[in-house]
Structures are given as structure tokens and as C-alpha cells.
Chains A and B, each alone.
Chain A
Amino acid sequence: MLDKERSPRTNIIILTVIVCIALVLSIFSYQYSILNSNKIVDIASQEVRSNTKIEVHDISLILANKLQTVSALLQTLAESPALHNNEYKRADIVINSRQHSSSDLTDFYMWLDKNGKINWISNINETTYQKYKGTDLSYRPYFTIPKDTHTAYYSSLIESNDKVPRLYISYPVINTTGTRTGTANGILTGVVVTSVRLQTLGNFLSNQLFPQFNSTIGLLDRNGIILYATNAQQYVGQYIFGDKFQSVLSTSLQPPESKNLLNNLIKSSLQGYTGSGDILINGKMNTIAYQPVLVSGKNFLTLYISAQHNLASDVTALIDQQRYFTILVVGIIGAVAIIISVLVFSWNKRLNTIVNTRTSELKKSNDSLAESNKQLALANEQLKVHDKMQQEFINIASHEMKTPTQAILGYSKLIQRHPERREEMLEAIARNANRLQRLTNDILDVTRIETQSLKLNIERVNLNELISDVIEDQINQIEKTNKDIKISHEPQDQTIEVEADKNRLAQVVSNLLSNAIKFTKKGTIRVTEEVKDGKALVSIKDTGQGIDTEIFPRLFLKFAAKSETGTGLGLFISKSIVEAHGGKIWAENNSSSDGKKGAVFTFSIPVSKGEHEQQQTKGRRQGEQ
């Protein structure tokens, strides 16, 4: 019982443990995978950041160098004697050579006179020269500021007369001859200017980008005017904090706080700082690094490089692989958990089945043991009953023997004192001696029956003759008792032959007939015999008192009935003899219509083979008819 109750609970516990282990393993595996991929992302991002910083640093330096070179060229030009002496022819060559030296960046070199009018522009032909000669540019800051300050000037974005946006660097041409002390006291004779076309600058910068990085470049002048932006040239010339550009940022940057981050970063950069920052733009992280471009120690421009954290495709593949692996591991763990559960359950079930089978087998063997015990007890009981019956038999038999013995002893004593009754007493002695003799014979018969040593001398017996002989003997007995009894022999079938012990069979008929006589006072005793279903049936029907209902159930048992002259063993012996012949004996009380009582004793005995076959043939013929 306990096992049955325990097993589902154990199963649930086992299942829970397995599920928990699977869950924990899955969580660990997933966490590990996430951690790993995050690390990979971090490393990759770090890489992007440092690369961006390196790039902005490198490019700003390259640009600064380049501009420094241009500035130096311009300075040497300003100090050229040809310009000081207004030697136009020679100045041509000098100016053109400068342009030639820095043509990858500069658009042109220009020489203005002291009134701000064009003296010469590099690499122009006579016609163009004639067109521009004397053009007044004295309002331009690149003229006014060197003129006033006698120092170099680095312009902000300027849209030139030809509508091309340019940056300008200008130097004053100062004649120091005649003055001994510094240039500040010299006389301005003109200004040399060089221009950098924004497009050229942009192309130059783009060429400097590391091709393996997916980065973009931006350039602001020191006032925050957009000079260059990769793939966004339409915004060139706009003020970065102007309403127009800010509104563009508002619409194009998600989430909104990214705009503020960007603005803060730009403000910081315009103050001349170097740095970088991560800004989420439209769902993707970008690192923006910035560095000012210094020319002659002056903050001229600010360079920005932005790189998206787009992981390299193999890194993405690696992370994907990791994720697939994790999913696979989790799946495998789940599958293993399920398989183990199924195994545990089926194992449990099989164990249960085995236990149940064993239990039922045990129970069966116990039952059979109990059954055999019961049978033993029954056999023991039967033995006891048998013992008791044996004792009872001895008791009753001795009683039956002592009674005639007492009579014989008594009479033999009395016969001397009562000689007048000598005859009567002698007869009584003989009668009791006979009784003893009969009893002895009967007890012997019973003993033979009970020890199964009753031997039959089987021979072919004519049943009709046998019955007739017995009846004749009994009639003689009746005559002695003076009873008014007649015996009618009414055989239904002639010459019935049976295989039997003649004497024993006669004993049975005699016993039944003498019983009938004994219990009948007056009337006719009918004896009939017939063949029925291959058996001879013999009936003895009297008109006596009938069988006592009290005795009826024990009728064929030892000492069941008792009479003055009987031993109480006759019917028991008769029954045993009939059964030894393979027959049956039974009794019934006569319930005839004439109201007369009486008993009917019938016994059956198999007819001999020939007789049987004859009967069968007869029956068959009747059947055919």
C-alpha cells in the first residue's frame, strides 16, 4: 500500500528536480551566451571608438600639416622680394609656383595691392587677367584684417564672387625696408591670399579616411559653420546651431535626446577640445570623435569623424553562431530532461507491474497454502469423525452383544430355580444365542466392508429364481410368527440375469424382505423385479407402519434402526453389497391412493451383458416401429 502511495509522489519529485535542473542549465547557458555576445559587442564597440579617435587624430593632423604647408607657402610668398618690389612678371612665376606646390588643396593664390585690388591671380591667362585686374576686394575680411593687424588671417566660410564656397588664408605683404624695428612698423604694400575650395577640401578629407571603416567625416569652421559633411553637402554653409539645421536634426535624429547629446558634443568641440562621445542615432550606436585643426597655433577648423558600431560580419556570424548553439544546448537539455523523465516513469511503471505481479503470485501461493491447510484441517476433522464413529461402533456393538449375553446368563441361572419354565427358557437361550451369532456375522460383514475386504464371488445369477428362493424361506418364517402376511412375487420381466455374488444378493433380498415382514402386521408384501435402462430393479413394497421420519435420514447407516430381533446393521450391509455390485439402493414411504401406508425399498443392479444387449435390441426394434 505504502509503495503505491509513494510512487506518484516520488515521480513528481524526480520530475520537478529534472525540470529545475533543465531550467537552471538553460538560464545559465542563456546568460553565458548573452554575456559573451555583450562582451563581443563591447570589444567591437571599443574597437570602433579607438579607431574613430585614431582616425580623427590622424586626419586632423594631416589636414593641419597640409594647411600649415599652405600657410607657410603663403608666408614665403608674402616675403618674396618680387612682391615687395612690385615686379609683376617675376611675381607671376612665384605665385604660380606656389599654386603648383599646393594645387591638391588650394584653388588659387591671389595678390592684392595695398588698396585691396587684384594685382595677380595664379594660373590665369591674359584674358582672364584683364577681366579681373583691378577688381576691388578691399571689403573682404581676408584683406581688411591683415591690413589692419599685419597678421595672418584664416577665414571662415566665404562665398566668393563666383558663388563657390571657399576658405581663405591671407598674409599681409609688408615692406620693412627703411624700418629697423619689427614688421609692425612696416608699410603694408599688399595682401597675399590663397583659397581652399570646400569641395577640394572635402575630397581631400574623404581620401584620408581609412577605407576599412564605415565612417563619415564632418568639418566645421571655428564659428560652427558646416564646411563639409559626407553625403550631406546640401547643409554646407549652414550654422550648426541655426534654427534650420537644428530642425533638420530634430526630425532626423531618434531618440530626441540624441540631438542634445550631439549639440553638447559640438559645443565642447568648438571650444577647442579634443574628445569623443557615443550617440544613439536611429537605433544604432555611433561614436563621434572630434579634434580641432590648428594652423600656426590657431584654431582654424574642427574635424569630426563618426563611425557606426556596425559589427564586422564575421563577428555578427560568431554571435549568431553562439546564439544558435545556446538554443541548441537548451533544446538538448530539454530533450534529455524529457527522455529521462519518460525513462524514469516507464521504469517506475515496470517496477510497479513487477511488484504487483509478485504480490499477486505471493497472494496466490498464500491462498493455495491456506486452501491446503483448510483441506488438511478438513481431513483431520474427518479422521476425528471417523475415529469417533469407530468408537461409537464399538460401543454400540458391545452393547448389542451384552444384551443377549445378559439374557443367556440370566436364563441359565434361573432355569435351575424355575424348572417348570425350562422349555421356555431354553428356547430363549437359543434365541439369544442365535441373535449373538447373527450379530457376530453382521459385525464381521461390516468389518469386511469397512476394511474394503468384502469379496464377491461373481457369477451369472438368475434373479427371478433367486428371489423366489428367498421368498420361500421367508414364508416359512412367517408361518412361525402367526402373522397374517402374504408375499406376492410379481416379476415384470422373465429371466433377468445379473452378474453377482449369489449369496450376497440373496442376503440383500432376505434382509429387505424380513424387514418388511417385521414391520408389517397384516397385508400383502409385493416383490417385483424388472429391467430398466440396462439395470435390474428389485422393489419390496410392504403395508406396514412406514419408515419413521426421524430415522429416515440415517436409514442406511450402522445401528440406525433397531428392533427386537435386528442388529441395526442389516440395511448398512445391504447398501454396501448393492454398491459393491455397482448398484444403488433407496427407500421411500408408500403414498398409495388407497391410503394404506407402507415402505418401498428398491435396489438396482446392472444386468449381465448379454441381457443388456438383448434389452437394447428390443428397445431399438420398438423404436423402429
Chain B
Amino acid sequence: MSSNKPRGEGKVNNNNNSLHNKILLIDDEPDITTVFALGLEDHGFKVDVFNDPLQALSDFKKGSYDLVLIDYKMPNMNGFELHREIRKIDEKVKVCFITAFEVYYDELKKKFQNSLNASSRQQHRQEEDVKCFIQKPIDIDELIKRIKQELNS
């Protein structure tokens, strides 16, 4: 299920090359991961891709990534649940949610809280640090811009 395709090192723009350039991308749609991974790699990011959140979690290691890009709607485990599990392993890694749902941040948070089923305050606080929500469909260049912003914040 996983497809790890680091490529095109030579085409990376060096001015964007930094320490924070390793990205984990998780989406159950292979077309989406293909498109996003290609676009990110074109801009010098190193991207690991998973179409199965459970697989992604089992392979996840602390300090391996600078940013995790998670789709919200996935089978077996939704994006928020995955995020919580990842946070347990890596407290510092930055997280962006990417979703095709027509919802705003507050509603999303509410939805998330409901899905948590009585979340503790600590978990709640952990969620509050996520401020990066990206709506599909998004232009690849716009996506790169948002991710760079998040990495530099």
C-alpha cells in the first residue's frame, strides 16, 4: 500500500532547501497522493506516502518528519484519530489536515471532538495546536505555499 517515491533531487530549488523538508503524506486516494507527492517533490520536499493510515502509524517514528499532511476522511482510522496517535509518538511534528469537506475550522473541531468520544483536556489542548486546515481541491502551488508557511511558523 505504501509507496515511497523520493525523486527529482536535482530539480529541487536550493533556496527552499532547509532542515525542515521531510513530509509524511497520508490519504486513502492514490490519485491524490500521487499528485501531491509529485508537486511537493518538485519543490524539494522529501515525501513519504501512505494510502492506509494504520500502515502509516505502524511505520511512524519520532523525529522522522517535519510535517504530517493528513486527509480527514479515511477508512479504518480517520485523520484526527491518526493525528492523536502520531502526537503520542512525536509531540513536535507539525500537522496539516487536508479535507474535501465543506466545513469550517470550528465545525471541524466539533466534529473531531465528537469523534473522540469524551476527550480529555490534555488531548483537547493537543488538538488546539493544529491550525493548518487545507481544503481540497487546491492548486499545487497554493499547497506548497501553505506548507512552507506552516513549516516556517
- Contact surface of A with B, Cβ cutoff 8 Å: 394-395, 398-400, 402-407, 409-411, 413-414, 417-418, 428, 431-432, 562, 564
Tell me the nearest residue of chain A to B7, going by C-beta: A418
Tell me the nearest residue of chain A to B29, going by C-beta: A403
**Residue contact A562 to B75, C-beta cutoff 8 Å:** yes
Tell me the nearest residue of chain B to A409, going by C-beta: B137
**Residue contact B100 to A403, C-beta cutoff 8 Å:** yes
**Residue contact B29 to A407, C-beta cutoff 8 Å:** yes
**Residue contact B30 to A564, C-beta cutoff 8 Å:** yes
B32 at the interface (CB under 8 A from A): yes
Tell me the nearest residue of chain A to B30, going by C-beta: A564
Which residues of B99-145 are within 8 A (CB) of A? Answer: 99-103, 136-141
**Residue contact B39 to A428, C-beta cutoff 8 Å:** no
From the candidates A400, A407, A417, name the one contacting B32 in the complex (CB within 8 A): A407
**Residue contact A410 to B32, C-beta cutoff 8 Å:** yes
B36 at the interface (CB under 8 A from A): yes
Report if A418-B102 is in contact (Cβ < 8 Å); known contacts: A399-B73, A402-B137.
no
From the candidates B31, B75, B99, B103, name the one contacting A404 in the complex (CB within 8 A): B31
In the complex, what's the smallest C-beta–C-beta distance from B114 to chain A, in angstroms? 13
Rounded to whole angstroms, the CA-CA distance of A414 and B102 in the bound complex is 26
**Residue contact B101 to A428, C-beta cutoff 8 Å:** no
Tell me the nearest residue of chain B to A391, going by C-beta: B102
In the complex, what's the smallest C-beta–C-beta distance from B98 to chain A, in angstroms? 9
Chain B residues within an 8 Å CB radius of A414: 35, 38-39, 42, 140
Rounded to whole angstroms, the CA-CA distance of A410 and B41 in the bound complex is 13
Chain B residues within an 8 Å CB radius of A413: 39, 139-141
Chain B residues within an 8 Å CB radius of A562: 75
B3 at the interface (CB under 8 A from A): no
**Residue contact A395 to B103, C-beta cutoff 8 Å:** yes
Report if A398-B100 is in contact (Cβ < 8 Å); known contacts: A406-B138, A409-B137, A414-B38.
yes
Chain A residues within an 8 Å CB radius of B101: 395, 398-399
B34 at the interface (CB under 8 A from A): yes
Which 6 pairs, one residue from A and one from B, show the smallest C-beta to C-beta distance? A410-B35, A407-B31, A402-B100, A406-B137, A399-B100, A406-B136
29 contacts between A and B (CB under 8 A): A394-B102, A395-B102, A398-B100, A398-B102, A399-B73, A399-B99, A399-B100, A399-B102, A403-B32, A403-B136, A404-B31, A405-B136, A405-B137, A406-B32, A406-B35, A407-B29, A410-B31, A410-B32, A410-B34, A410-B39, A411-B31, A413-B39, A413-B139, A413-B140, A414-B35, A414-B38, A417-B38, A418-B38, A431-B31
**Residue contact A428 to B31, C-beta cutoff 8 Å:** yes
Which residues of B1-55 are within 8 A (CB) of A? Answer: 29-32, 34-36, 38-39, 42
**Which one of B31, B99, B100, B136 has the greatest number of beta carbons of chain A within 10 Å?**
B31
Chain B residues within an 8 Å CB radius of A407: 29, 31-32, 34-35
Tell me the nearest residue of chain A to B28, going by C-beta: A564
Report if A411-B35 is in contact (Cβ < 8 Å); known contacts: A402-B137, A417-B42.
yes
Per DSSP, chain A at the interface is: helix
Tell me the nearest residue of chain B to A401, going by C-beta: B100
**Residue contact A564 to B102, C-beta cutoff 8 Å:** no
Tell me the nearest residue of chain B to A414, going by C-beta: B38
Known: A406-B136, A409-B137. 14 other contacts (CB 8 A): A394-B102, A395-B103, A398-B100, A403-B32, A403-B100, A403-B136, A406-B32, A407-B34, A409-B35, A410-B38, A413-B139, A414-B35, A417-B38, A562-B75
How would residues 48 to 72 of chain B score, 1 for a CB under 8 Å from any chain A CB and 0 otherwise? Answer: 0000000000000000000000000
In the complex, what's the smallest C-beta–C-beta distance from A293 to chain B, in angstroms? 138
**Residue contact B136 to A402, C-beta cutoff 8 Å:** yes
Rounded to whole angstroms, the CA-CA distance of A398 and B135 in the bound complex is 12
Rounded to whole angstroms, the CA-CA distance of A394 and B101 in the bound complex is 10
Chain A residues within an 8 Å CB radius of B140: 409-410, 413-414
Rounded to whole angstroms, the CA-CA distance of A59 and B62 in the bound complex is 161
In the complex, what's the smallest C-beta–C-beta distance from A230 to chain B, in angstroms? 129
**Residue contact A432 to B139, C-beta cutoff 8 Å:** no
Tell me the nearest residue of chain B to A432, going by C-beta: B31
Rounded to whole angstroms, the CA-CA distance of A406 and B36 in the bound complex is 10
**Which one of A398, A406, A417, A564 has the greatest number of beta carbons of chain B within 10 Å?**
A406
Chain B residues within an 8 Å CB radius of A432: 31
Chain B residues within an 8 Å CB radius of A398: 100-102
From the candidates A395, A409, A411, A428, name the one contacting B139 in the complex (CB within 8 A): A409
Rounded to whole angstroms, the CA-CA distance of A406 and B33 in the bound complex is 10
Rounded to whole angstroms, the CA-CA distance of A409 and B143 in the bound complex is 12
Rounded to whole angstroms, the CA-CA distance of A414 and B139 in the bound complex is 11
Tell me the nearest residue of chain A to B73, going by C-beta: A399
Rounded to whole angstroms, the CA-CA distance of A417 and B8 in the bound complex is 11
In the complex, what's the smallest C-beta–C-beta distance from B92 to chain A, in angstroms? 29
Rounded to whole angstroms, the CA-CA distance of A394 and B103 in the bound complex is 12
Chain B residues within an 8 Å CB radius of A403: 29, 31-32, 100, 136
Tell me the nearest residue of chain B to A563, going by C-beta: B75
Chain B residues within an 8 Å CB radius of A402: 100, 136-137
How would residues 80 to 94 of chain B score, 1 for a CB under 8 Å from any chain A CB and 0 otherwise? Answer: 000000000000000
Rounded to whole angstroms, the CA-CA distance of A69 and B122 in the bound complex is 157
Chain A residues within an 8 Å CB radius of B30: 564
Rounded to whole angstroms, the CA-CA distance of A428 and B34 in the bound complex is 10
Rounded to whole angstroms, the CA-CA distance of A564 and B29 in the bound complex is 7
Rounded to whole angstroms, the CA-CA distance of A404 and B29 in the bound complex is 9
Rounded to whole angstroms, the CA-CA distance of A400 and B36 in the bound complex is 18
In the complex, what's the smallest C-beta–C-beta distance from A390 to chain B, in angstroms? 14
**Which one of B34, B36, B99, B141 has the greatest number of beta carbons of chain A within 10 Å?**
B34
Rounded to whole angstroms, the CA-CA distance of A399 and B139 in the bound complex is 16
Chain A residues within an 8 Å CB radius of B75: 562
Rounded to whole angstroms, the CA-CA distance of A432 and B32 in the bound complex is 11
Tell me the nearest residue of chain A to B140, going by C-beta: A413
